[in-house]
Amino acid sequence: MQRIDYLGADRFSALGDTPVLVVDAASWTKPASPLQAVVVGIDREGSLPSTDRQAFDVLLTTFDAAPKPWISIDQAQFDDTVQRLAEMVHANPVAATIGAQVLRLSSGLSLPEALQVESFAYSTLLGGAEFRRWQDASKRGTSTPVPADPVLVLRDGNKITLQLNDPDNRNAMSAVMRDALYEALANILDDPSKPNLTLEGGGKCFSTGGSLPEFGTANDLAEAHVARTLHSCATALDALGEQATVRLHGACIGSGIEVAAAAHRRIASPDAWFQLPELSMGLIPGAGGTATMGRAIGRHRTMWMFLSGKRIVAAQALDWGLVHAIEKQG
């Protein structure tokens, strides 16, 4: 590996030819010069070497059931996995490297501050060429009617259940649903009786994330940032602290896990699975995932989910700390 100096650092960025570096985890030293490239540290021997974890965005090992922040990869699939990660970065280098930068910054910030940083970056990417390419190539269909009550509010004494209520659209997080959820959460925060909250999804899954037909429809990206952070469901859910529990089942994709990860108690059904698909769209998580999931499972494993786009099942989510328990849901 050549020395990365200040003049040569441009090469190792989304504007250069090397937006991703795959390096030996045991010997890599973070350069003093600015480095925007995604850094993937590999441990092919499965020895879990002592290393400066902050120098990497992802750490891959063949060691079975490796501890945080490592991601365990089967020996037979290791090289293909590394190659696939590099291909994902090269396909959308701006989104990939900005995602890495946001996760690096967020790890040292409070949750509200981290959500602000994510939103700035997300709005920037909405105006970028990689997202426009996805828009031009995708067949997203048209928006379908949202129920009159996209979030049901059920109260029993000092217990409130909020249920995402658009099962025909797999509880896709439309702007109408997001606003209704924020209003309900804000009302609970303002309630002096401090009721306990359970957030769940109606139908076959918790939520498949943002409503695809609505992606990129904001005319003013700066104003969209203000609205996104002013009415952040992740901020509100986190502010409820121990009052809030989220129950997850079926698909929990994109914002369908990003918001839920802000809850202080997260329970999954055995059939639950989780995914961050935004990189393939030329974006980063925009509903709080870099902050909420970064705190739940660490920035390295969050970056792995973001780069790979792979699903993780309930058992792995429990092992990583994304959920606190697995329970059958009635």
Looking at the chain, the whole-number percentage of residues with pLDDT higher than 70 is: 98
Average the pLDDT over 246-265 and give the result: 98
Question: How confident is the model at residue 79, as a pLDDT?
Answer: 97
Q: Which of 308, 252, 313 is nearest to 88 (CA)?
A: 308
Distance CA 43, CA 62 (A): 7
What architecture (CATH level 2) is domain 111-326? Alpha-Beta Complex (3.90)
* Amino acid in position 220: D
Average the pLDDT over 246-255 and give the result: 98
Is the distance from CB of 41 to CB of 73 less than 8 angstroms? no
Tokens of 71: 């991601």
pLDDT exceeds 80 at position 142: no
Instruction: State the average pLDDT for the chain.
Output: 95
Looking at the chain, the whole-number percentage of residues with pLDDT higher than 90 is: 88
Please give the angle made by the CA atoms of 220, 223 and 227, to the nearest 5 degrees. Answer: 130
Is the distance from CB of 300 to CB of 58 less than 8 angstroms? yes
pLDDT exceeds 70 at position 318: yes
pLDDT exceeds 70 at position 154: yes
- Give the burial class of 155: count Cβ atoms within 10 A of its Cβ; 0-12 exposed, 13-18 middle, 19 or more buried: exposed
pLDDT digits (tens, 9 = 90+) for 196-220: 999 999 999 999 999 988 887 888 9
Question: How confident is the model at residue 216, as a pLDDT?
Answer: 77
Q: 48 φ, ψ to 5°? A: 50, 65
Q: How many CB atoms lie within 10 A of CB 65?
A: 7
Q: Whole-angstrom distance between the N-terminal and C-terminal Cα of the chain?
A: 55
Q: 263 φ, ψ to 5°? A: -70, 145
Distance CA 142, CA 315 (A): 35
What does pTM read for this prediction? 0.96
Question: How confident is the model at residue 270, as a pLDDT?
Answer: 98
pLDDT digits (tens, 9 = 90+) for 30-65: 888 889 999 999 999 999 999 999 999 999 999 999
Question: How confident is the model at residue 2, as a pLDDT?
Answer: 59
Under the banding of pLDDT at 50, 70 and 90, the label for residue 159 is very high
Question: How confident is the model at residue 209, as a pLDDT?
Answer: 96
Question: How confident is the model at residue 3, as a pLDDT?
Answer: 74
Strands of the 312-313 sheet, one edge to the other: 251-253, 273-275, 312-313
Average the pLDDT over 141-149 and give the result: 81
Tokens of 316: 């792995």
pLDDT digits (tens, 9 = 90+) for 80-97: 999 999 999 999 999 999
Under the banding of pLDDT at 50, 70 and 90, the label for residue 235 is very high
Please give the angle made by the CA atoms of 230, 257 and 178, to the nearest 5 degrees. Answer: 35
pLDDT exceeds 60 at position 1: no
The answer for residues whose C-beta is within 8 angstroms of residue 110's C-beta and 6 or more apart is none
- Going from N- to C-terminal start, the domains of the chain cover 9-91, 111-326
